[in-house]
Chains A and B, each alone.
Chain A
Amino acid sequence: MTAYIIRRLLIAIIILFIVTLIVFFSIRLLPGDPLVIFLGQQATQGGVSTAELDRLREEYGLNDPIMVQYGNWIWGILHGDLGKSIYYHEDVGILMGERFPITLHLGLLAFIINIVIGVLMGLAAAIRRGTWIDAVTTTLANVGICIPVFWLAILMIYFFGLQLGWLPIYGYTSPFKDFWLNTQQVIMPVFCMAITMMATTARLARSSMLEVTRQDYIRTAWSKGLRERSVIMRHALKNGLIPVITLLGIGLGMVFAGSVLVETIFAIPGIGRLLVTSIFAQDYVVIQSGTLVIAMIIILSNLLVDISYGWLDPRIRFG
């Protein structure tokens, strides 16, 4: 097991290194000087002198050779310094630190809903295969995967916000400040974030449970005369849900991708919205460090998934 973990860890470090290269050099492909693009927008309003531009370029280290810039960036990240935003004039670490709990809050809720409802749906469909329960849940899951998140958000805003007036259509208040308002505000965003995940989980749980219930040991359990509940709960579920763990990694990616859309629509100040704002502001420092942090989180959680997979299923560890 230790050898397996060390091997996985080494691979993860190599992947992370390649991720930094991708992020850094794709941003540097930006035609033109990122600072000039950004200041160009300001110049039309106030005007920035060449001397000022040179000073800023020096400040952001854009005069250094590109490898030195890369080295400085990595060095900073290893020391917890993600750089300073051009647009917000603030440390990216602080910007992300403020927004991360909000995305985490929404993502965690979406995730819980996803696991509970998704797994239950998949389970019900698999156990009652071929009945109306299976037909309904499978159809729901197939449709759920196809719903564009941003469109569902707008649909919900229209019906629950504008027509019925039940829920606020945008904003985010800290749950510690006003818990009730916060709950009302997060219902729609959380549901939108969860929908694709939920459908995916349901489909995966169904097919993997069907796979398991065909195994010999399940037939043995039945022929021993065990009750359905104990066959399902004690024998089938344990193996049937192993593939669902993979979704923990995939789901995290979905949370971030969903947060980009959902937070933009509901005007929630989270990581996703920060990224979109920075793209429009051409704030390369935030884009660069923001995408890196997201990729880092996903790669590390995939590492944990891999390790727990190896722990749960020895065939993988020694494979």
Chain B
Amino acid sequence: MTGKNTIAEEFQEAPPRVSEWRRFWRVFLQRRIVIFGMVVLLILVIIAIFANFLAPYDPYRGEMEDSLQQPNSTYWLGTDIQGRDTLSRLIFGTRTALMVGFVTVGIAAVIGVTLGLIAGYFGGIPSMIIMRIMDALMGFPMLILAMLFAAVLGGGIQNVIIALSIATLPAYARVMNGLTLSIRENDYIMAEQAMGSSNIRIMLGHILPNAIPPTIVLITLQLGGIIMAEAALSFLGIGIKPPGAAWGAMVNDGYRYLSQNPVLSFAPGIAIMLVVFAFNMVGDGLRDALDPRLRGIL
């Protein structure tokens, strides 16, 4: 990177230097809604980490005599049929949602980016095989593909993560493939090749760093979708298994007692909306700050 800068400075008049970081923060924090999303995410991460301390009651065990209470001063959001505190389950659900989200994007991004990099760099037969498989995976609606794998693997947090990772990794592979194809055309890549650098070195040292900003944007935008899909799976009963606290499952549990205590269903839905909204807004902000050209692509 430093080598490239000095050459650029020699040949053209340097523009007034603005730190990249400062420029990034200025654009990123320009829109109030992005700041809102950021703050919401920070709060949720804190809630997820300190769930044990924040939850007023045990999310998995309740008092049967307190079953289906309306929101009151003891139970701020009421209780479910088993007398479990809704607020506590909501707080632990944050942990489930964020964990599924972050672990899934981690797995999907690493595998997807690697596949896309290989396909884009080598082209030919590897590209043909990898990209057609990705196309095939993209032929399924994400939820239905995740349902298929969750059904085969049998639910539970670990299997939901695997199912969602498989369902979302084609997006990374496709974006990475496109990026690699365009980055590969740069002169500095040809220079590296002429100097005899190994393929691995060029891929990891030169192409990958240039592809990181769009990947970060994609990851952020995908997080909302993944959390939504996990909620949908848990709602259908093929996701997180009871008594695990998952927002989607909570909506379904509350559905049966809708006329007695609608808060049971309503509250977790609002939590889902808030998380997805926050991730989408931060993703939009990151996209504008990191690379405005990605508008309409990501």
Indicate, yes or no, whether A interacts with B: yes
Residues of A in contact with B (beta carbons under 8 Å apart): 11, 14-16, 18-19, 22-23, 26-27, 29-31, 142-143, 145-152, 154-155, 157-158, 162, 204, 207-208, 211, 243, 253-254, 256-257, 260-261, 264-265, 275-276, 279-280, 287, 291, 294-296, 298-299, 302
Whose C-beta in chain A lies nearest to the C-beta of B266?
Answer: A155
Q: Known contacts A19-B136, A19-B139, A154-B265; is A26 also within 8 Å of B144 by CB?
A: no
Query: What's the least CB distance linking A38 to chain B, in Å?
Result: 13
Residue B76 at the chain A interface, CB threshold 8 Å: no
Complex contact B280–A287 (CB within 8 A): no
User: Which residue on chain B has the smallest CB distance to residue A256?
Assistant: B141
Let me know if B91 is at the binding interface, CB within 8 A. Answer: no
Whether A279 lies near B147 (C-beta < 8 A) is yes
Contacting residues, chain A, for B33 (C-beta < 8 A)? 142
Task: Give the docked Cα–Cα distance between A196 and B138 (Å).
Answer: 18
A19 to B135, CA, bound (A): 9
Task: Verify if B244 is at the interface (C-beta below 8 Å from A).
Answer: no
Task: Write the residues of chain B forming the contact surface with A, with a CB cutoff of 8 angstroms.
Answer: 33, 132-133, 135-137, 139-145, 147-149, 151-154, 224, 228, 231-232, 235-238, 248, 251-252, 254-255, 258-259, 262, 265-266, 268-269, 272-274, 276-277, 280-281, 295-296
B148 touches A26 (CB 8 A): yes
Name A's interface SS.
helix
Does B144 contact A291, Cβ atoms closer than 8 Å? yes
Q: Assess the B139–A299 pair: CB atoms within 8 A.
A: yes
Known contacts: A15-B139, A256-B141, A287-B148. The answer to whether A146 contacts B224 by CB under 8 A is yes
Given contacts A142-B33, A276-B147, 12 further A-B contacts (CB under 8 A): A18-B133, A30-B152, A147-B273, A150-B248, A154-B258, A204-B296, A207-B296, A256-B144, A260-B236, A264-B236, A295-B136, A295-B140
* Contacting residue for A22 out of B136, B231, B259, CB 8 A: B136
Contacting pair A154 B255 (CB below 8 A): yes
A255 to B276 CA separation, bound complex (whole angstroms):
20
Q: Contacts A146-B276, A256-B144 known; A154 to B137 CB distance under 8 Å?
A: no
Q: Which residues of B contact A23 (CB under 8 A)?
A: 148
The 10 closest A-B pairs by CB, nearest first: A151-B269, A18-B136, A253-B141, A257-B141, A257-B143, A146-B276, A146-B277, A279-B151, A295-B139, A299-B139
Contact of A151 among B139, B142, B265 (CB under 8 A): B265
Is A149 a contact partner of B132 (Cβ separation < 8 A)? no
Which residues of the partner chain B approach A295 to less than 8 Å between Cβ atoms?
Answer: 136, 139-140
Residue of A nearest to B225 (CB): A145
Contacting residues, chain A, for B273 (C-beta < 8 A): 143, 146-148, 151
| Residue in B closest to A162 when the chains form the complex, CB atoms | B259
Q: Give the complex CA separation of A316 and B269 in angstroms.
A: 42
Collect the chain A residues with CB atoms within 8 Å of residue B152's CB: 26-27, 29-30
Determine the residue in chain A with the shortest Cβ distance to B129.
Answer: A18
Instruction: Tell me which residues across on chain B come within 8 A of A16, comparing CB atoms.
Output: 136, 139
The reply to whether A15 and B132 contact each other, CB–CB distance below 8 Å, is: yes
Q: Which residues from chain A contact B144 at a C-beta distance below 8 Å?
A: 256-257, 260, 275, 291, 294
On whether the beta carbons of B236 and A154 are closer than 8 Å, the reply is no
Hey, which chain B residues are within 8 Å of A298, CB to CB? 139-141
Cβ–Cβ contact A211 & B296, under 8 A: yes
Minimum C-beta distance from B68 to chain A (A):
16
Quick check: A155 and B277 within 8 Å, CB to CB?
no
Q: Hey, which chain A residues are within 8 Å of B272, CB to CB?
A: 146, 148, 151
Contacts of B251 in A (CB 8 A): 148, 150-151, 154
Q: How far is the CA of A145 from the CA of B235 in the complex (A)?
A: 18
Q: Could you say which of A150, A152, A275 contacts B232, with CB atoms under 8 Å apart?
A: A150
Contacts of B151 in A (CB 8 A): 279, 287
Q: Roughly how many angstroms separate A208 CA and B297 CA in the complex, as a whole number? A: 11
Do the beta carbons of B277 and A22 come within 8 Å of each other? no
| Most chain B C-beta atoms within 10 Å of own C-beta, residue among A18, A204, A280 | A18
A35 to B28, CA, bound (A): 55
> Given contacts A208-B296, A260-B236, A287-B148, are A148 and B280 in contact (CB under 8 A)?
no
Q: A142: which B residues are within 8 A, CB to CB?
A: 33, 277, 280-281
Output the least CB separation between A168 and chain B (Å): 15
Tell me whether A158 and B296 are in contact (CB under 8 A).
no
Q: Which residues of B contact A208 (CB under 8 A)?
A: 296
Measured between C-beta atoms, what is the minimum distance from B149 to chain A in Å? 6
Residue of B with least CB distance to A254 = B141
Q: What residues of chain A lie closer than 8 Å to B135, measured between beta carbons?
A: 11, 15, 18
- Please, which residues of chain A bring their CB within 8 A of the CB of B236? 260-261, 264, 276
Query: Which of chain B's residues have a CB closer than 8 A to the CB of A22?
Result: 136-137
Q: Could you show 22 A-B contacts with beta carbons less than 8 Å apart?
A: A14-B132, A16-B136, A22-B137, A26-B148, A26-B152, A31-B154, A142-B281, A143-B277, A148-B235, A150-B231, A151-B265, A151-B273, A158-B265, A257-B142, A260-B144, A261-B235, A279-B147, A287-B148, A291-B140, A291-B144, A295-B139, A298-B141
Contact of A148 with B141 at beta-carbon distance under 8 Å, contacts A154-B255, A264-B236, A291-B148 already known: no
A279 to B145 alpha-carbon distance, docked (Å): 12
Q: Which residue of B lies closest to A264 (CB)?
A: B236
**How far, in whole Å, are A30 and B273 apart by their CA atoms in the complex?**
33
Given the contacts A253-B141, A279-B147, A149 and B232 also touching, CB distance less than 8 Å:
yes
Min CB distance, B5 to chain A, in Å? 32
Q: Complex: how many Å from CA A260 to CA B229? A: 12
Q: Is the CB of A294 within 8 A of B262?
A: no
